[in-house]
Amino acid sequence: MIDPKTAWRNQPTEPFIMTPEKMRQKAQELHAKTRWELIKSIAGPLIVVAICGFALQFPDPVQRALLAFAIAWSLTGQYFLNRRMWSATLPGDVALSTGIESYRREVERRRSLSGRFLLWSLGPVVLAIATFVVPLLRLGIRKGMLLNMIPFLALLVIWIVGVFIVRIRQQRELRREIDELKEIEKVNKC
Amino acid sequence: MGRAETISNGGARQDDLYKDAAHRFGASLERLARAYEADPEKRRDLSQDIHFQLWRSFHGYDSRCSLRTWVYRVAHHVAASHVLRERRGFSKLVSLEELEMLPAKDQGQFAADHRRNLERLSTLIRQLKPLDRLVIVSYLEDMDAVSIGEITGLSPGNVAMKIHRIKNILARRFREGGNHD
């Protein structure tokens, strides 16, 4: 029988050490990556503002109020979604926590982030789209053009439902992982 | 001592600790990265991330645990976060208990080629959930149950049970004989 330990430990490795220059470069890369993440996260509010900017001309005050609310919701969401983005990516106490603790906390963080996305990013986008689409739908029914609108509406619904389902699945998966880890922690404390 | 001098000393200590850790555990860290990422390009990035976060973490090193425990905890955290971030196939990852029950297609096969055996071992490890990956990697790095328990937070009894399972799995999958390649 081959010894997996020997096979593992004898695998070729290249000596690797990060020089101070490389550290600085890595820090800059990390900074740039965070900035890019922020830019990407602004896509949601941009959609909301674009839709709302166009639709704010609607005469209905209820619609205008809803759109203004969607803008405010979306902008507030950016604060809640990104407020910790610039802070240290490695919590200071990681090395003082055991592997299971720090991993559980990371899974919890991911789950919370996924939940915040639904509330603060998808929520306002759906509200803005709905506020925009409902009057169009009414107009379509009145003018007998509903059939022409069906492909667009179907795509919209598929997209929203798809994003929602994927996120909910992720959340459920992470919840299961957290429960398992908590159970392991409980057993190991006894 | 002035504040600037204190910070400068702290920075020098941080650099020294990092150099010491990289010198002593550099090869182990590279092997650990192999257990978490198959793609060579991404693995290089992961290795760099581990080293960078390790260097950052030494700012707060207070000798409360051994250097090895510290290094492994930080490395595991960075690597596990990487697995979570990538998410591809996260739901397909299994625990050691589940892996032990799974029938292996290549059970009993032995490849004369060292590189292929290593590749199979790495693939096997990458099927595992991050916590079990940490246990098996620590075991392969020849750590004892107490050290593995200190790093992972699992009780020595639980670690011993997991090591028993690991030995079973490895024996079944890397047994010489059977269907030779």
Is residue A132 within 8 A of residue A124, CB to CB? The reply is no
3-state secondary structure A55-114: HCCCCCHHHHHHHHHHHHHHHHHHHHHHCCCCCCCCCCCCCCCCHHHHHHHHHHHHHHHH
Q: How far is B39 from chain A (nearest CA, A)?
A: 15
The whole-model pTM stands at 0.78
**What's the pLDDT tens digit per position in A132-166?**
888 888 888 888 888 888 999 999 999 999 999 99
Mean pLDDT across chain A:
82
Q: At what angle do helices A123-143 and A146-189 cross, to 10 degrees?
A: 160
Distance from C-alpha of A152 to C-alpha of A166, rounded to nearest angstrom:
21
Q: What is the mean pLDDT of residues A35-49?
A: 75
Q: Per the CB < 8 Å rule, is A95 touching B130? A: no
For chain B, give every domain's residue range: 3-89, 93-173
User: What pLDDT, on the 0 to 100 scale, is given for residue B9?
Assistant: 60
Interatomic CA distance for residues A188 and A21, integer angstroms: 43
Predicted-complex ipTM score: 0.79
Q: B51 contacts in A (CB within 8 Å)?
A: 16-18
pLDDT value of residue B5: 52
Percent of chain B with pLDDT over 90: 44
Percentages of chain B per state (helix, strand, coil), in multiples of 5: 75, 0, 25
pLDDT tens for B81-135 read 899 888 766 677 888 888 877 766 655 555 556 777 888 889 889 989 999 999 9
Average pLDDT over residues B26-40: 92
The overall longest dimension of chain B from CA atoms, in Å, is 70
Spatial distance between the Cα atoms of A11 and B30, rounded to a whole number of angstroms: 10
Judge whether residue A128 has pLDDT over 70. Answer: yes
Average pLDDT in the B39-45 region? 91
Instruction: Answer for the pair B96, B167: CB distance below 8 angstroms, yes or no.
Output: no
SS3 B52: helix
Higher pLDDT, B158 or B85: B158
Confidence of residue B178 (pLDDT cuts 50, 70, 90): very low
Domain covering B3-89, topology? Rna Polymerase Sigma Factor; Chain: A (1.10.1740)
Which chain B residues have a beta carbon less than 8 Å from that of A187? 155, 158
List the 44-103 stretch of B: residues with Cβ below 8 A of A: 47-49, 51-53, 55-57, 60-61, 64-65, 70, 72-74, 76-78, 80-81, 84, 87, 90-91
Q: Do B77 and A100 touch (CB under 8 A)?
A: no
Q: Inform me whether the pLDDT recorded for A19 exceeds 90.
A: no
Contacts of B49 in chain A (CB under 8 A): 26
